[in-house]
Amino acid sequence: MILSFLLTGFIKNILIILLIVLVHELGHIFFLKIFNYEILKVEIFPFGGVTSTEKLINSPINKDILIYMGGIIFQIILYFIFSFLYQKGYILNSTYQLFIMYNKSILIFNILPIKPLDGGEIFLLILQKFFPYIKTLSIANYISIIILAGFILYNIKSNLNNFIIIGFLLYKIIDFCRRKEYFKNKFLLERYLYNIPYKKIEHNGGQDFNILKKETLHFFKSNNKYIHEKEILKQKFDINSYF
């Protein structure tokens, strides 16, 4: 898409798109830095970017929501900056209209509840406030597939760029589905290795890891007494428990 824009003289278009994408990713980086999370890399695509970070799955939900909202917040700020510059006569009407079109398109696209878009991540985090973590992975995957199917039908006669986007999203959904067991084990291992500050405490019968929730400490009932979840997780992860 970038090459086609350059060859056909639409340099202003690609510069505006790249500006919006960069500002969007800066929004994520801003909040990641505030919460002292390590940033691994930032990838820029014509339709958006991906900021990879090293943080716990069990990190606070509200912090994670704010991180994923960062791109949207910064795009809104950029809109007000462009509107101010346009009103002051520093930006041509044609440039301003291009910015409005691209900023709106990228914003709407990113809030779709499809993994790994910001909307998909925020939707997943909201689910995790109410449902067990492992169950939310399945729900988010099903919703992503349904929304993507609708997106494909809506763009069935669209341009090459949208088909590239669809291919990217389809690959990410399949990859997310394949890695479900990895996310599950990482979630459980974190709870065993780290002293995570929990907001709630739940007492449960049986020993089912599938009911564990983020921000919630679980005790399991065994022989008429409740056992800390770490004692149960120790049987799964501590190599010494096998000898």
pLDDT in tens, 35-77: 999 888 888 766 667 888 888 999 999 999 999 999 999 999 9
pTM for this structure?
0.85
Written as one letter, the residue type at 211 is I
Distance (Å, whole) CA 13 – CA 49? 17
Output the furthest CA–CA distance in the chain (Å, rounded).
76
Give the pair of three-digit tokens for residue 140.
């988010």
Q: What is the pLDDT at residue 30? A: 95
> Contact 192/56 with Cβ under 8 angstroms?
no
Q: What is the DSSP letter of 240?
A: G
- Residue 31's pLDDT is what? 95
Q: Where are the domains of the chain?
A: 2-110, 196-242
64-78, 182-196, 226-240: the lowest-pLDDT one: 226-240
Q: Which residues form the catalytic set?
A: 25
As a whole number of angstroms, the distance between CA 169 and CA 147 comes to 11
**pLDDT at 54 (0 to 100):** 82
